[in-house]
Structure 1
């Protein structure tokens, strides 16, 4: 067994996120599991850039209401207890709605040195606004 004390909360890097996003690392990719996991908190309107993962990503929503979008325009509204699985290589983004914060545990499998994420361009304000409109027509849970 290994016990790891709580990690300090840090602000997410502005080159990968829009708005105020805060991270607490849970696990970094090391032998033998290579699991990278973090608790990520998004303030209203905050979101990731477009990105993809070599081996996919699992998001477990812990608080608030959020959005997960893909390049084909699919937008899923998420709430506490929801799990979203993003397949390997799929461009996607995730974040809070424009009116609610959202927190999730993000999990990916990486290798010895990286979590396998390829970071891309920011989600534009127009793309985000369209996602909020689309998501508002769905159920919140």
Structure 2
């Protein structure tokens, strides 16, 4: 894999077109789960306003946790029941297993992160209920 040294660390990858993202989000797979690794690792790019789920932010969990390493831009990470926090280039977010959360770009900035997601059996994510667009707008207004 080769990226332009003046831009992102990894290529933008393929557009994610499933029902779990809204806006333009892209994935470059870096490491697949195999006999040596009980995790998958990918580079995820969220263009401004892009985030988990289609019509609103989608809360989700990871049965065995996830780590996000922010490599470019800024966005938000929020755990259920806690205030959202801004995440920026250089931040590392260690998401404990089964913690309900969402993450994505801010309304005005791109967010790029490496996601290292552990598996429990054949599962590495559980998609849950949406968060309203109003809640996403409120996070961006602070």
> Alpha carbons of 1:112 and 1:25: their partners in 2 closer, same or farther (altered >3 Å)?
farther
Tell me which residue corresponds to 1:18: 22
| SS, match of residue 129 in structure 1 | helix
Any unmatched runs of 5+ in structure 1? 137-141
Compute the displacement of 1:66 (Å): 0.8
Equivalence for 1:68: 77
Is this contact kept in 1: 2:12–2:26, CA < 8 A?
A: no
Counterpart in the other structure of 1:89: 98
> Helix, strand or coil: the match of 2:140?
helix
The Cα offsets for residues 24-64 of structure 1, whole Å up to 9 and x where unpaired, read as 01112111221211100001111012110011110000000
TM-score (norm 1): 0.82
Correspondences of 1:1-141 after superposition (within 5 Å): 9-48=13-52, 49-110=58-119, 113-114=122-123, 116-133=124-141, 136=142
> Is the 2:12–2:45 Cα contact (8 Å) retained in structure 1?
no
Change (3 A) 1:111 1:56: closer
TM-score by length of 2: 0.82
Query: What is the CA–CA distance in structure 2 between the aligned matches of 1:8 and 1:71, rounded to whole Å?
Result: 29
Aligned residue pairs, count: 129
Tell me: CA distance 1:56–1:34, structure 2 relative to 1, closer, same or farther (3 Å): same
Distance in 1, matches of 2:31 and 2:59, equals 22
State the distance in 2 between where 1:60 and 1:70 align. 17
Deviations 1:61-95 (A, max 9, x none): 00001100121142110111100111110111110
